[in-house]
Amino acid sequence: MTELNEKQRQKLRRECFGYATQDALVLEEETLETNVCLADASRDEARRYLDDLGLGDLAGTRAR
């Protein structure tokens, strides 16, 4: 392998950092989407549970 000069190293660093940053943003977005899905599922389950107990109307969370 040939040795890189400083300009090539800097370019490579910027490219690698850019890819790493982009990957991190995609992962963060996917994580947020997953968390939203889990929160929605938990909320819906909580509503069903309150409805099963007959408390859905009292809590204002009547399941749809």
- Asked if residues 30 and 37 have their Cβ atoms less than 8 Å apart, the reply is no
pLDDT at position 1: 53
Per-residue pLDDT tens digits for 6-62: 888 888 777 777 777 778 777 888 888 877 777 888 888 888 888 888 877 765 554
Question: What is the token pair recorded at 34?
Answer: 């997953």
